[in-house]
Amino acid sequence: MALQHKLTFLVDNSSLCCWTYAIVWQLSSADGQMILSWGDGYFSTNENSTQRNEAKQFDADQILRRKVLRELHDLCHPEEDYREVDHVTDQEWFYLLSMSWNFACGEGIPGRAFQFGQHIWICDTVKPINFQCARLELAKSAGIQTIVCVPTRNGVVELGSTEIVNECSRTLQDIRRYFEEEQQQQQSQ
């Protein structure tokens, strides 16, 4: 199963909750340092998962968001026509900004999950955690209430939701199973 299909499946087919997005942070080397950077992602456009505002705002913030979204689309998918959107939600904005983030091993939630080889499940982003994380503050301001980071051999899988989702071993098993299969296939080629 291709990476994009796995991310889509994790978000859209979860019977346990309503995930808003999934991101794969891939491990790479930059200037001799191992970093996690954007590998791929999927954002659900499900009306329930994005908490769209009833009254769509057309203020300067929305104009800027639409402009940046158009430029990101042109960079990432130059071969496709851009479909103009009239509103970019806070959750979509957070997801799009994620494309520009990198994490050194041990930094941020993805970096900590990878360094320690253990998942991190934050199920209420308004409750304090025992380490500083600027991205968590950004997620909280965007209405993301749950963030899950699961380390794999080649990086970290991150899921996020606008709902409070309690830790679930089945979700963790699904993520590990989907992404371990991919790693085994890559090694056999």
- Could you give all domains of the chain from N- to C-terminal order, each with its CATH number? 3-52+89-188 (3.30.450.40)
Residue 84 has pLDDT above 80, yes or no: no
Residues 6+ apart with CB under 8 A from 69: 85, 88, 92, 96
Span 74-103, mean pLDDT?
A: 76
| Backbone angles phi and psi of 127, in degrees to 5 | -80, 140
Q: What is the pTM of this model?
A: 0.78
In whole angstroms, how far apart are CA 117 and each of 37, 93, 105, 132, 173?
17, 29, 11, 19, 15
Q: What is the DSSP letter of 30?
A: E
Asked if residue 37 lies in contact with residue 26, where contact means CB atoms within 8 angstroms, the answer is: yes
| Backbone angles phi and psi of 139, in degrees to 5 | -60, -45
Q: Which residue has the higher pLDDT, 163 or 31?
A: 163
pLDDT bin (cut points 50, 70, 90) of residue 32 is confident
Asked if residue 109 lies in contact with residue 120, where contact means CB atoms within 8 angstroms, the answer is: yes
Half-sphere exposure at residue 103, Cβ-oriented, CA atoms within 13 angstroms: 27
